[in-house]
Amino acid sequence: MSTGTYTARAAIITDPQRLDFPATTQNREAIWQVLGPLVDEKRGPVLEVASGSGQHLAFFSSLRPDEQWQGSDLEPLHRDSIRAWNPNLPPALELDVAGEWPERCWGGIVAINLLHISRWAATLGLFRGARAHLVSGGWLYLYGAYLRKRGANAPSNLAFDQELRRQNPDWGVRYLEEVLALADNLGLIADGQVEMPSNNFSLIFRQK
């Protein structure tokens, strides 16, 4: 994670380096229904930022083993887990999305449950990195909870936002309108909003 502080509730399984985040197996199928067609465009290597335990990366790469997958995380404990779950993939990058990105182009970038457990600077850095490093027509896929400035919000998302802000005032469920405005200001094209289970959203943005 780009926060440098947050570690999801995890259990250690057979390999002592493999972290097990139970929520991963709960949402991965729904995520893949949206993410899979993007991967199948085959625009180039796919980078997952803030890969956490590495379980999502392992699941996605098992479905498309011919794709070039790259994990990343700022936390050493997470990078060890990513390697343990994905021994056949390149070692995870030590990437802080709010900092310098490696000079490499990506066909797609994936960020799952990142925006609400990182400071706003990480969201800004993620979009700037995508704008600078996605190939033409490349995509940025985001998954997570969002709030709306107008209209009703799910009580669970409002409670989640309050819980996060109690832990760290820089965290919180982001307003969808602010995320869309940021992408537009940086020159990324909004290309889809998909309602997901448990009041989450998939958001898709495109490089021009």
Q: Does 16 reside within a domain?
A: yes
The confidence score (pLDDT) of residue 64 equals 98
Helix axes 176-185, 120-133, angle to 10 degrees: 40
Q: Does 4 reside within a domain?
A: no
3-class secondary structure per residue, the chain: CCCCCCCCCCEECCCCCCEECHHHHHHHHHHHHHHHHHHCCCCCCEEEECCCCCHHHHHHHHHCCCCCEECECCCHHHHHHHHHHCCCCCCCECCCCCCCCCCCCEEEEEEECCHHHCCHHHHHHHHHHHHHHEEEEEEEEEEEEEECCCCCCCHHHHHHHHHHHHHCCCCCCEEHHHHHHHHHHCCCEEEEEEEEHHHEEEEEEECC
What is the CA angle 96-114-36, rounded to 5?
105
Q: 40: domain range?
A: 11-206
Q: What is the pTM of this model?
A: 0.92
Q: Does 62 reside within a domain?
A: yes
Q: Does 176 reside within a domain?
A: yes
pLDDT in tens, 128-153: 999 999 999 999 999 999 999 998 99
State how far the Cα of 148 lies from the Cα of 125, in Å rounded to an integer: 22
CB count within 10 Å of CB 188 equals 23
Q: For residue 3, what pLDDT band results from cuts at 50, 70 and 90?
A: very low
Q: Does 5 reside within a domain?
A: no
Q: Does 153 reside within a domain?
A: yes
pLDDT in tens, 107-135: 999 999 999 999 999 999 999 999 999 99
Q: Does 1 reside within a domain?
A: no
Q: How many domains does the chain have?
A: 1
Radius of gyration of the chain from its Cα atoms, rounded to whole angstroms:
16
The confidence score (pLDDT) of residue 15 equals 73
Q: Does 3 reside within a domain?
A: no
**Residue 76 belongs to domain with CATH number:** 3.40.50.150
pLDDT in tens, 23-60: 888 999 999 999 999 999 999 999 999 999 999 999 99
Average pLDDT for the chain: 93
